[in-house]
Amino acid sequence: MDSSSIVPSSIKALNAGISSHNPFVDASTVREPEIWIDRHADSPQLNIGVRSHLHAAYGRVCQSTTVAAVTLLGQTGTGKTHELNCLRQHVHNAPIPGLFVYLNVQQFSEGQAVRQQFLRAIGDSFVRRMPSGLLQWQQLAIALANHALSGIDNSRKQFSPRSVLELLSRNSLEQNQAWIDRIAEAFFRVRPDIDDPDIVRAIFWTLCPHQLPYARKWLSGLMIPSWKRNELGLPQPRSHNPESQAWQTTLNLLTTIEQYAPVTIAFDCFEHPEIPEPGVQKERVAIGLIKWLGDRLRTRTRRFGVLFVSAMHPDTWDLVEDHFGPVAQFAHDRGEPCGLQPADAETIEQAIECWLQTFYQARNLVPPTPLYPFDRAQVAALVRESVDLHDAIDWCADNFQPVETDPLESVELRFGSILRELADDGLGDDWMIAQAIAQAFAQLQGCDLTIDDPINPVDRDASMIPEISEISFRVRDVALHPQSRTFPVTIELEVLEIATPEGALASQSAARLRGYQNLDPSVDHRAHPETKHSQNHPRCPHRLNPLNRRRCLTHPIRRILSR
């Protein structure tokens, strides 16, 4: 159905939704935990060139064993972390899904347990979920298990992740130990060249919900109780040098992973948010890690490659080039670093529209305009003040409030807006007016209204109903009927009160209200016997004929207090 034929929600419903939740609060900055959430507003045109470069780099590591590196440069507020979030979504949803590692550079201390911290960052990232619902550890474990299964019997059906998780969750410890022993033995049979069989065994244990916390802790280089190591069949640390052990574990782990999936490692937050720590150059630590890993992974046998992505301020990149010289190429191996551009009016508007669309769809609401409760003039004013997307989202958080407006004003504005949009589409006059009326009056659903001009309605029996000085009613429902040429719109009203000039209730008028045809004097409700009326609150569905549109809009309507 054409979007213009969708009747928007009433102001009352929209205001209730807006009052219930503000989607913009704390949303202007993508924080570290939010890297793993697919909820951030986006603009298709925002940094499209940068994304194309990143996607191409990921494509290279999917097709070869290359070690690729890309650097993103952007001022504060231009969305560096947001772009990493978009890249993570692309990696997880690509035709060849990969694993993603995120590192906050501020967690590193130069020369102090850097490799241990890096290994723990891998472990922390791999407990995040993929679109399949599996943890990254579990996704890897299933890939290893299916490889082992194919080596035993190529005709056997592959493991279903859900069936394996359900099996291991209900099995006893002894049964799970036997299952892990069998699958590990089968894997080593097809991969006798594996450097560290204990890593593979620990990865398999991540499929067992009860043992997952211990397995991931061991894989991150952390100590677990000796009795638990015995249960899982894992050794104690073999080196008195934790840094050396962490480095060897990292290399063996990445080499194993890259036989089954490409890996993307993202370095973020090169700059301290407040005051830089004196004497510690975080960028040196990160670039050093990229160089060390790249050099060593190039010498190992792998099926897939690895992609390093660094997101930093342009001033930080200048420091990297000054300190490292040619070594800086390890952070960006093709051409110049990718610069993020500040958002313009179009991209800011698109991002806000995307956020609002997600908000309204989750609540089954239809706004009158994509930017509601904001408008394009407000967005344009923000851009004139040179705000970035970060500040624009903060402004939305402060101003996302129910709209307090005269219902008639909403009807008039919406009616004119829809007429202009439909006229541009070249739609026929009658249907165009019908859609405009429906979408405009939909703004009044649930509102109590009053017509306060004198009315002389005409009864179809040719007898006059006494003059009505005021009529109060509620708009119950608005519906479009695309197949009806005669009555393309139905507006259902509930009459609340009718007053004569003398101030008395016109009960006779209420009883015979079906003869009142103010909105369309051409309709005879006697032709619709299914319509029922109450003495106190008769309900009158008026079918609007677009040809009588002038009379439909002649009476001034004002909002009265909600009952």
Please report the DSSP string for 448-459 in residue order. EEEE-S-B--B-
Mean of the per-residue pLDDT values of the chain: 77
> What integer pLDDT is reported at residue 154 of this predicted model?
64
> What integer pLDDT is reported at residue 188 of this predicted model?
92
499 against 51, higher pLDDT: 51
Residues 443-498: tens digit of each pLDDT: 666 666 777 666 665 554 545 556 677 777 777 777 777 776 666 777 777 777 77
Per-residue pLDDT band for 420 (boundaries 50, 70, 90) equals low
In this prediction, residues 107-135 reach a mean pLDDT of 88
> What integer pLDDT is reported at residue 219 of this predicted model?
94
Kindly tell me if the per-residue pLDDT of 545 is higher than 60.
Answer: no
C-alpha distances (whole Å) from 230 to each of 218, 222, 236, 250, 253 are 12, 16, 9, 23, 21
448 against 202, higher pLDDT: 202
> What integer pLDDT is reported at residue 206 of this predicted model?
96
Per-residue pLDDT band for 511 (boundaries 50, 70, 90) equals very low
Residues 293-323: tens digit of each pLDDT: 888 888 888 889 999 999 999 988 888 888 7
> What integer pLDDT is reported at residue 522 of this predicted model?
40
Residues 86-102: tens digit of each pLDDT: 999 999 999 999 999 99
Please report the DSSP string for 95-163 in residue order. SS--EEEEEEGGG--TTSSHHHHHHHHHHHHHTSBPTTS-BHHHHHHHHHHHHHHHHH-TTSPPPPHHH
> What integer pLDDT is reported at residue 282 of this predicted model?
76
76-101 burial by CB neighbour count: b if 16+ within 10 A, else e?
A: ebbbbbbbbbbbbbbbbeeeebbbbb
d(CA 232, CA 173): 10
> What integer pLDDT is reported at residue 260 of this predicted model?
93
Domains contained in the chain, CATH given: 3-26+344-399 (no CATH), 47-113+262-342 (3.40.50.300), 129-261 (no CATH), 407-559 (no CATH)
Per-residue pLDDT band for 377 (boundaries 50, 70, 90) equals confident
> What integer pLDDT is reported at residue 269 of this predicted model?
87
> What integer pLDDT is reported at residue 534 of this predicted model?
36
> What integer pLDDT is reported at residue 39 of this predicted model?
65
d(CA 39, CA 221): 32
In this prediction, residues 528-548 reach a mean pLDDT of 37
